[in-house]
Amino acid sequence: MTLARVTTVVLLASHGWWFVQEKVLLGLPMLGLAGTIAVSVAGRQLRATGSASPAATPTGSVVWLLTTGYAGLVGLLVSFLAGYPLTWSTALLAGSVVGAGALLTARVVATRGADIAGAADGSPATADDDARAEPTPAPPAYRGPAVSRRRFVSLAGGAVVVGMGGAGVGLVFRPGESVVAGGGPPDPSRSRSAVSVADLRGAAEPAPGGARRRYDLRARTATVRLPSGQEVEAWTYDGQVPGPSITATEGDLIEVTLHNVDIPDGVTLHWHGYDVPCGEDGAPGVTQHVVAPGETFRYRFRADQVGTYWYHTHQASHRGVRKGLYGALVVTPREAWPVAGAAPAAQLDLTLPVHTFDGTVVLADRDGRAEHAVPAGTPVRLRLINTDSDPHRVALAGTPFRVAAVDGRDLHQPGEVSRVGLHLAAGGRYDLVFVMPDAPMALVLDDDPNGGVRLRPDGTGGGDDPAGTDISGWPELDLLRYGTPAVIPFDADRADRHFTIVLDRGVAMVDGRPAYAQTVNGRGHPSVPDQLVAEGDVVRFTVVNRSLETHPWHLHGHSVLVLSRDGKPSSGSPLWVDTFDVRPGQVWEVAFKATNPGIWMNHCHNLPHAHQGMMLRLRYDGVTTPFGDSHGKRSGHRH
Ligand code: C2O
Ligand code: CU
């Protein structure tokens, strides 16, 4: 078993130090030390007694063999409960547990050894004793006169075990650092004088020539009837799921007044993927107070980014978004999207948020399959938005297509592809474009032939049903190798700051309570240190997934450029994303330029994971918040 452990560690080590640190520094040394002693002691003693009977196994051998077992077990527990990074506290606690196990075993074995010795000496014996004691009494060195030495050893050992355990527990309660600077204190020339997020608000006017887009969203509970007849007890914006689509043309002013009618948790609007000024970001306890029932909040920002985005509540979002507090945000360019020869009116542009209500998949506003008649030759754009906490698989059957945009940002020279599946991360978006063929085509979701969307050319009722195509074997399109390279606006190799984010499960404090948490560098929100940056910094993240679940990583207020995955550089179009799926065992390198001052949530977009601790904040030097509470007492923000 020890050999198997060593092999695993060697294999894992090739993926990076984060995967093996605690095993190399603690687990294996503990196991190796106990195991070596066990082999030498047991080997010597067993040869000395010359018998294979278990009853004759000398005390020392038993104790060391079992201690080796404890060391192996504790090493595994450290990996599962504590993980990366290894702390002194964990090391001390682990050592003391193994030590305590060894001492207890020694005590039990010694007592038993004495009984056996007594039986062999002719004192009254049971049949059981006979069976065990008959072959060979323990050798003299292991009974009688050794008691005082044994007593001394167990007293001293006990003291060491208690000391280590006490120190380990003590260190657990030592307050950890509350800020990490990712490679040095802020450059004073880049630090700004203090500014509150409350003052980082959006523009009051549209860009010249732009319009005002006013929306009123009333957050309320509602019973929503889906097209299939199924009813959902939902939390909604305006009584519908999804909430009303918010649309604008580049340069318009978006002004949304949010009213909370009766959402008991409170509600906000977070503009997912939209790099709004921080005061409009909708993160309760950080950029605003939560909007309680009866209250309102007005969001206002310029539609400077073109593309497909979405909005959702950020208050207890693992519950609120799941229950229906989400909708689409789509901004189109001033010039209609260019397809040679097509008048804008002749295009089909469908916005398709995907959401799962108690196992029922709802695409846009319907469960079951949607049908549209489209004249052949019509340019089509499908805007897919994953509003769930798990990834979806998307495929287009019956037509070649291009992935025009990912997370709202256009790709550079995306090539035509067909017969491929697309993996859409939780929170992520794809814009798929193609020209309507003269036969039916289908958007297939999660390989389910009964859902999705079917487009058929006008006038033709029949034709093959492409939704029936078996697409489960289609390969997954790798976006890191799709499209062609283009210039990027900064030098990612000369980052000013570099943060490592190791994702795992483990025992950690979450909102002031110990939990089997979803952890970031071994800690849970709000005890994960803030990442400190200064305006103008080039910032690099290394995101490592040590766990067995997928983590869609999402930074507010910025899109990040994907540099590499598992050490392989991105070689296609520059890939700018706001959410990227870090699958088990993967390591992603991403970078961005810090140009949007604020305090930004940085978290896993599997929202239950965020709720279970997988969340932290990226803070610009000099930016403060009046809405939360400072370090140590930040529990005002509940994701
Ligand atoms: Cu779409 Cu912090 O979230
Ligand atoms: Cu996660």
Q: Which ligand is nearest to the CA of 618?
A: 1
Distance from residue 175's CA to the centre of ligand 1 (Å): 28
According to the model, what pLDDT value does residue 221 have? 98
pLDDT at 335: 76
For 445-456, how does the pLDDT look when each residue is reduced to its tens digit (9 = 90+)? Answer: 999 988 899 999
For residue 400, cis peptide bond before it (omega within 30 degrees of 0): no
Q: Where is pLDDT greater, at 258 or 466?
A: 258
What would the mean pLDDT of 466-495 be, rounded to a whole number? Answer: 92
Distance 548 CA to ligand 2 centre (A): 10
Q: Do domains 206-334 and 345-477 have the same CATH topology?
A: yes
Judged by its nearest atom, the ligand closest to the C-alpha of residue 557 is 1
Q: What is the mean pLDDT of residues 462-474?
A: 79
Atom of ligand 1 at shortest range from CA of 314: 2
For 489-509, write each residue's pLDDT tens digit. 999 999 999 999 999 999 999
Pair 284, 638: CB distance under 8 Å: yes
Mean pLDDT of 150-158: 84
Please tell me the predicted confidence (pLDDT) of residue 631.
35
Verify cis geometry, omega within 30 degrees of 0, for the bond prior to 244: no
Closest-lying ligand 1 atom to the alpha carbon of residue 310:
1
User: Length of the chain, please?
Assistant: 639
| HEC-encoded secondary structure of 549-610 | CCEEEEECCCCEEEEEECCEECCCCCCEECEEEECCCCEEEEEEECCCCCEEEEEECCHHHH
What integer pLDDT is reported at residue 327 of this predicted model? 98
CATH superfamily of 345-477: Cupredoxins -  blue copper proteins (2.60.40.420)
* Ligand 2 centroid – CA 601 distance (Å): 14
**Ligand that lies nearest to the alpha carbon of residue 312, given by its number in the listed order:** 1
Q: Given this model, what pLDDT does residue 240 score? A: 97
* Closest listed residue to residue 325, CA positions, set 256, 279, 270, 286: 270
Look at residue 458 and tell me whether its pLDDT is greater than 90: no
The encoded tokens of residue 566 equal 């598992």
Pairing verdict, β 392-397 and 421-424? antiparallel
Angle between helix 28-49 and helix 88-120 axes, rounded to 10 deg: 10
Residue 149 scores a pLDDT above 90: no
CA of 556 to the centre of ligand 1 (A): 7
Question: Tokens 């880049």 — which residue?
Answer: 190
The CATH H-level superfamily of 181-195+488-624 is: Cupredoxins -  blue copper proteins (2.60.40.420)
Q: Kindly state the helix (H) or strand (E) to which residue 370 belongs, with its residue range.
A: strand 370-374
Give the pLDDT confidence score for residue 1 in this predicted structure.
83
pLDDT confidence of 459, banded at 50, 70, 90?
Answer: low
Protein residue whose Cα sits closest to atom 3 of ligand 1: 272
What's the rounded mean pLDDT across residues 340-360? 82
Evaluate if residue 133 carries a pLDDT over 50.
no
Nearest-atom index, ligand 1, CA of 321: 1
Q: Cα(161) to centroid of ligand 2, in Å?
A: 37
Phi, psi of 356 (to 5 degrees): -115, 120
Distance 327 CA to ligand 1 centre (A): 13
Residue 266 in this model has a pLDDT that exceeds 60 = yes
Residues with CB under 6 A from ligand 1: 270, 272, 312, 314, 427, 554, 556, 601, 603, 605
Q: 45 pLDDT band (50/70/90 cuts)?
A: confident
Question: From ligand 1's centre to the CA of 371, what distance in Å?
Answer: 31
Nearest to 472 by CA among 421, 424, 399, 397: 421
- The pTM of the whole model exceeds 0.85: yes
CA of 448 to the centre of ligand 1 (A): 27
**What residues pack around ion ligand 2 (CB closer than 5 A)?**
551, 604, 606, 609
Rounded to the nearest angstrom, the gap between the alpha carbon of residue 376 and the centroid of all alpha carbons in its chain is 42
SS3 sequence of 21-67: HHHHHHHHHHHHHHHHHHHHHHHHHHHHHCCCCHHHCCHHHHHHHHH
Q: Report which ligand 1 atom has the smallest distance to the Cα of 556.
A: 2
272 CA: nearest ligand 1 atom: 1
| CB burial of residue 261 (10 Å; 0-12, 13-18, 19+) | middle
Q: From the CA of 323, how far away is ligand 2's center (Å)?
A: 19
The Cα–Cα gap between 480 and 565 comes to 8
Q: Hey, where are the domains in the chain?
A: 2-172, 181-195+488-624, 206-334, 345-477
Cα atoms found within 13 Å of the Cα of residue 364, Cβ hemisphere only: 17
Report residue 46: phi and psi, to 5°: -65, -35
Average per-residue pLDDT for the chain: 89
For residue 633, count CB atoms less than 10 angstroms from its CB and return exposed for 0-12, middle for 13-18, buried for 19 or more.
Answer: exposed
Count of CB atoms situated within 10 Å of the CB of 389: 21
When mean pLDDT is compared over 60-74, 184-198, 308-322, the highest value belongs to: 308-322
pLDDT grade, residue 93 (50/70/90)? very high
Beta-bridge partner residues of 615: 603
Q: Which fold has domain 206-334?
A: Immunoglobulin-like (2.60.40)
Ligand nearest to the CA of 501: 2
Q: Is it the case that residue 537 has pLDDT exceeding 50?
A: yes
Q: How far is the CA of 519 from the centre of ligand 2 (A)?
A: 9
Summarised one tens digit per residue, pLDDT across range 515-535 is: 999 999 999 999 999 999 999
Looking at all shown ligands, the one closest to residue 326's CA atom is 1
Ramachandran angles phi, psi of 494, nearest 5°: -115, 60
Judge contact between 428 and 393, C-beta under 8 A.
no
Distance 564 CA to ligand 2 centre (A): 20
8-state DSSP, 291: B
Specify the ligand 1 atom closest to the Cα of 615: 2
Q: What is the mean pLDDT of residues 438-467?
A: 84
Supply the pLDDT for residue 187: 59
pLDDT band at 144 (very low <50, low <70, confident <90, very high): very low
Give the residue whose CA is nearest to atom 1 of ligand 1: 272
Residue 224: Cβ within 10 Å count: 18
